[in-house]
């Protein structure tokens, strides 16, 4: 897959104008109805007529809007959830109350885990596909990296798998648990260090040493 952030960032230009247009139409129609059909002294209510052509037109308009949104949204979602056959790097993530544990199958013995007052650090190579497996040791947590526009829930007895691609220079980006999980939820954070090839290899040598 490509950058999760890039997959959905372009959809803002489609969703926001449609949402603004629908909002404007609804507010305008409500204002017109309130003004035109408000109760007046001495007025007598008259029976209304069904306007089937208006109902059909509204249904077709709504159907067209939904079709456009699905045509653009579903392919982006499919690309975002697709898994690479041969990812360049793998990370195993374990969430627990109230911290994170990151291990790297290709780097035996390299572990970074949250400690009291110290968030865990996630190190990933930049510009390549990174495959994640996510699970939780206790309650439901949520792996959220705002800078990537990505969030995935961790459910007990379930392993979630997803791919991400990080741009260079994401060092000090902050990840969070986005699912309220108890008293220590607010402090359940981690830092993301996205390193280019040479810097990542240097970190791996230091971590293994």
Domains and CATH numbers, the chain: 4-81 (no CATH), 89-208 (2.60.40.420)
Contact 129, 1 (CB under 8 A): yes
SS3 category, 112: strand
What per-residue string of b and e applies to 111-137 under the rule 16 or more CB within 10 Å gives b?
A: ebebeeeebbbbbbbbeebbbbebbbe
d(CA 55, CA 190): 52
pLDDT at 153: 92
d(CA 91, CA 21): 43
- β-pair type (111-113, 141-145): unpaired
pLDDT at 165: 86
Residues in the chain predicted with pLDDT less than 50, given as ranges, are 1
pLDDT at 170: 54
pLDDT at 147: 83
d(CA 125, CA 168): 8
Contact 153, 179 (CB under 8 A): yes
pLDDT at 14: 80
pLDDT at 1: 46
Give the global pTM. 0.69
Contact 100, 137 (CB under 8 A): no
């Amino acid at each position: 897959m490509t950058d999760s952030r890039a997959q959905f960032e372009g959809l803002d230009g489609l969703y926001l104008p449609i949402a603004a247009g629908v909002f404007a139409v609804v507010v305008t129609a409500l204002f017109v109805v309130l003004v035109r059909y408000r109760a007046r002294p001495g007025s007598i209510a008259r029976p209304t007529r069904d306007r089937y052509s208006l109902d059909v037109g509204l249904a077709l308009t709504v159907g067209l809007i939904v079709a456009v949104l699905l045509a653009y949204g579903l392919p982006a979602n499919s690309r975002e959830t697709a898994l690479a056959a041969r990812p360049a790097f793998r990370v195993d993530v374990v969430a627990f109350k109230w911290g994170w544990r990151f291990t790297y199958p290709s780097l035996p013995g390299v572990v970074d885990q949250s400690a009291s007052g110290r968030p865990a650090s996630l190190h990933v190579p930049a510009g390549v596909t990174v495959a994640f497996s996510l699970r939780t040791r206790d309650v439901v947590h949520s792996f959220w990296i705002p800078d990537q526009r990505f969030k995935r829930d961790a459910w007990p007895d379930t392993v979630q798998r997803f791919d991400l691609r990080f741009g260079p220079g994401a060092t000090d980006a902050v990840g969070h648990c986005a699912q309220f999980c108890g008293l220590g939820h607010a402090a359940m954070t981690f830092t993301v260090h996205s390193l280019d090839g040479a810097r990542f290899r240097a970190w791996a040598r230091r971590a293994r040493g």
